[in-house]
Chain A
Amino acid sequence: MENTIVKAENYNSYFGDNHVVKDVNISINKHEVIAVMGPSGCGKTTFLRGINRMHELIPGATSTGKILLDGENVYDMNAIYVRAKIGMVFQRPNPFPNLSIYENVVAGYLLNGIKVSKADKDVIVEKSLTSAALWKEVKDSLHKKGTFLSGGQQQRLCIARAIAMQPELILFDEPTSALDPISTSSVEALFHELKANYTLIIVTHNMQQAARVSDRTAFFYMGELVEFDDTKQMFTNPSDQRTQNYITGRFS
């Protein structure tokens, strides 16, 4: 499969003895928007954090199985390298409060101590902010602190920060759950544009959002990947009874 970017093989995650993600097998194609949905505590966020090895930062967290990124198991690579290669956007916008908007965009380079010339940085900042649909709004205040922006702008700044590292894959952990409806739609609109250059995996507890933005949807329930299918197909004609129940709101 030339087109596969992420492939999980018998992937399991644990918090201590608590088995949170159970034997997940999934294969995600390049330039797809994947929504991962399911009720709270179903393991969707834990699965996402397993992909870029953020899961193991929590004391007592372990995992087994393989996550293949372009055919290579991330658990055989250096965790630092994996995290630098895969972009991630979090539930709450988390720009670095001590850095300006400009510095926030190139934070990945600053943090890793990678020397970049001023001219290159200017290019990276403009390109990343443009891709994150934020350039027009902030181009005159690049040296203000990132925390002065609105919630939606902060979240797009965090997306720009991830894009600046030139990832192929960007993970979103409920990226709009802390945002107001207008900011939410601005971020959702962005997903459609990002699709051209990146693969997006979006964890969401919002079914409508999954339906709106994704090409394919994965439904997690009690730690299991119940169903993974074309989004339209899943929302109109799910093959599993549990998916059907979730979509029709019989449990949440």
Chain B
Amino acid sequence: MFCIRNPKFVENKRLQLSNSQLKWEVLFKRILIAMSILLVLIILGVLTTLIIESMPSIKALGVGYLWGKVWDPVQNIYGAYPFLIGTLLTSFIALIISVPFSYAIAIYLGEYNPKGWLSDLLKNTIELIAAVPSIIYGFWGLFVLIPLVRELEIKFHVLPYGYGILTASLILAIMIIPYGASLGISLIRMVPSPLKEGAYALGATRFEVIRSVIMPYTRSGLFAGVLLSLGRALGETMAVTMLIGNTTTIPTSIFATGNTMASVIANEFTEADHTEYLSALIELGLVLFFVTVVINLIGKRIITRFTNN
């Protein structure tokens, strides 16, 4: 007959209580599941709230809300178009400015200098950029960027506000560089060295290896990093609010003032004194929610596809 010989185990009563033991195991697993599901439920709850609360606005304005060019709470006219444009414009300009920096950093710290104290110091510092609270960037922008942009505007003979799309885009660019760079560093470090050696052995220079081996190998991943940083730029509120000028007109140049969806909500929420106004602001949040979710989903899908290969 099968029996336990180890005396320590024979005396252990828990061995006989295996059912209650099992109960705890099952319960533990259930707690873990419940906590994970809870978070998903909260997100769905947020989405539901956004939809319900923006119902009055959706009913009153329909799809025209997205294309409406005038935002005038006093007259009760709400059009999200200027802010949609403001959001997309600042984010994409920020992206264009940040991409060369994140790629350069990714290539340098991924390929040229992947190890050692200098590499670690630079990588950690760059990742720290993402951890600095955005209000600090806002302040820095007020004191440093705005005077600089003013000088630039004087040179270009436009009204020297200092505030505007360009200023906001510049600060956004700085804030999103670490997202693209950090992912890029890991991806470039992952390029198999046999591939690089294969190219070197054919007489390729380092630049040629980067251009013809590393870049094609990491292209989709680097692009996903760009999309993720775009998602961050779309939703950024505080720093942008402080620098964009907060006007409801459609921006006509990069020096023009404007507003983004996130910063309109932040600025006007406390002033929204009637249902339709409030509802129109919440719908703005809903639109922003969808734009960022879609961008993030695309980015994640590209990353999964990339890492599976």
Contact = CB atoms under 8 A, between A and B. Distances in A.
Interface of A: 52, 54, 57, 59, 80-81, 83-85, 87-88, 90-92, 94-98, 107-108, 110-113, 158, 161-162, 165
A94 B208 contact: no
Given A57-B197, A96-B213, A161-B198, 15 more contacts: A80-B205, A81-B203, A83-B201, A84-B203, A90-B198, A90-B201, A96-B198, A96-B199, A96-B212, A98-B217, A107-B202, A107-B212, A112-B204, A158-B198, A161-B202
Given A97-B217, A98-B216, A111 B194 contact: no
A126 B35 CA distance: 62
A158 B197 CA distance: 12
Contact of B195 (A85, A96, A112): A96
B200 interface: yes
Contacts of B197: 54, 57, 90, 94
Contacts of A52: 201
Given A94-B195, A96-B195, A98-B216, A88 B201 contact: yes
A54 B208 contact: no
B165 to A, nearest CB: 37
20 contacts: A54-B200, A80-B203, A84-B203, A87-B201, A90-B198, A92-B194, A94-B198, A96-B195, A97-B195, A97-B217, A98-B216, A107-B199, A108-B203, A110-B212, A111-B199, A111-B202, A111-B208, A112-B202, A112-B204, A162-B201
Interface residues of B, number: 19
A94 B194 contact: yes
Given A80-B203, A165-B202, A111 B195 contact: no
A96 B199 CA distance: 9
Contacts of A85: 203
Contacts of A113: 208
- The interface centre, meaning the residue of B192, B195, B203, B208 with most chain A CB atoms within 10 A of its CB, is B203
B202 A108 contact: yes
A111 B201 contact: no
Given A81-B203, A96-B213, A165-B203, A112 B208 contact: yes
Main SS class of interface, B: helix
Interface string B90-134: 000000000000000000000000010000000000000000000
Contacts of A158: 198
Interface in B189-230: 192, 194-195, 197-205, 208-209, 212-213, 216-217
Given A90-B194, A94-B197, A96-B198, A111 B216 contact: no
A81 B201 CA distance: 10
A4 B115 CA distance: 41
Contacts of A161: 198, 202
B194 to A, nearest CB: 4
B112 to A, nearest CB: 11
A92 B192 CA distance: 11
A66 B201 CA distance: 19
B78 to A, nearest CB: 49
A144 B115 CA distance: 37
Contacts of A80: 203-205
Contacts of A165: 202-203
A203 B126 CA distance: 44
A176 to B, nearest CB: 15
Nearest to A91: B194
Nearest to A161: B202
